[in-house]
């Protein structure tokens, strides 16, 4: 049984059956890994990593693989991050935005990090069908959550960890079945509610980091959704 942890590690390389190069697979996996960390609580280590020049590079490489890609969000993100000279002030910025947007705010939380909260927008609740479905999917994949994870299973960061796990299988095993599983997971469990999640963040002005990085996330999910079709087309050429 595999264990999902908050700090994912490891490098994986593609099989000959996929159309992605080793570097492209590495960028895709790194992008998912970094996005997973973004939606956990901000930390000193995370704030330092985000301010490093290398943080945006895998996102840029992956979005270039999408025919209809737009890199305006990455340009704005680069400009935003360039405005912080040290990680301490950036951490304060992230913590204020994270708590206000996702955890607790006097005027109401802008965008909960749980898929269940988007099943009935008029009456959002935790541990809905999305959470039940994630528990089953995690069990079917023969993985378990690490003991330091105390969030419901439909938390965005947990879903990204599961996606990372499935993509790792697709990469190491190199089989169409695993690619299809990654695309199905994204289409059935992530894209619909992440699109609604992003819509709630679009008007955010005080902490632009989270709406911008969520738009990048949607681009990554779009690419993963298209992987099986792209690989099939590649093999038929």
pLDDT of residue 65: 76
CA proximity to 29, closest of 143, 144, 159, 163:
163
Residue 220 has pLDDT above 80, yes or no: yes
CATH code of the domain containing 78? 1.10.3480.10
Question: Do the beta carbons of residue 203 and residue 42 sit within 8 Å?
Answer: no
pLDDT of residue 5: 53
**Domain span at residue 70?**
19-236
Domain count, the chain: 1
CA proximity to 208, closest of 36, 69, 216:
216
- Domain contains 102: yes
CB atoms within 10 A of CB 222: 15
d(Cα 229, Cα 25) in Å, to the nearest integer? 16
- Domain contains 8: no
Question: Do the beta carbons of residue 30 and residue 55 sit within 8 Å?
Answer: no
- Domain contains 107: yes
- Domain contains 2: no
- Domain contains 11: no
pLDDT of residue 11: 31
Of residues 115 and 234, more confidently modeled: 115
- Domain contains 3: no
- Domain contains 5: no
d(Cα 132, Cα 14) in Å, to the nearest integer? 32
Of residues 143 and 89, more confidently modeled: 89
- Name, of 66-80, 196-210, 217-231, the range with top average pLDDT: 196-210
pLDDT bin (cut points 50, 70, 90) of residue 79 is very high
Question: Do the beta carbons of residue 3 and residue 30 sit within 8 Å?
Answer: no
Question: Do the beta carbons of residue 87 and residue 44 sit within 8 Å?
Answer: yes
Residue 111 has pLDDT above 90, yes or no: yes
β-bridge partners, 145:
4
pLDDT of residue 49: 97
């Amino acid at each position: 049984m595999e264990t999902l942890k908050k700090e994912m590690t490891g490098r994986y390389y593609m099989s000959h059956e996929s159309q992605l190069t080793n570097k492209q697979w590495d960028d895709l996996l790194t992008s998912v890994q970094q996005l997973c960390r973004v939606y956990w609580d901000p930390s000193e280590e995370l704030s330092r990593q985000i301010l490093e020049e290398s943080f945006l590079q895998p996102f840029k490489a992956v979005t270039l693989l999408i025919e209809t890609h737009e890199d305006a969000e990455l340009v704005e993100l680069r400009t935003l991050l360039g405005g912080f000279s040290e990680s301490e002030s950036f951490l304060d910025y992230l913590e204020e935005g994270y708590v206000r947007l996702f955890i607790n705010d006097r005027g109401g939380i802008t965008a909960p990090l749980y898929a269940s909260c988007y099943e009935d927008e008029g009456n959002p609740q935790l541990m809905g069908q999305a959470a039940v479905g994630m528990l089953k999917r995690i069990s079917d994949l023969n993985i378990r959550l690490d003991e330091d994870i105390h969030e419901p299973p439909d938390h965005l960061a947990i879903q990204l960890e599961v996606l990372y796990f499935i993509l790792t299988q697709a990469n190491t095993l190199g089989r169409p079945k695993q690619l299809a599983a990654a695309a199905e997971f994204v289409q059935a469990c992530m894209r619909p509610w992440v699109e609604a999640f992003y819509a709630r963040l679009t008007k955010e002005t005080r902490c632009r980091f989270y709406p911008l990085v969520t738009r990048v996330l949607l681009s990554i999910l779009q690419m993963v959704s298209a992987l099986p079709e792209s690989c099939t087309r590649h093999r038929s050429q």
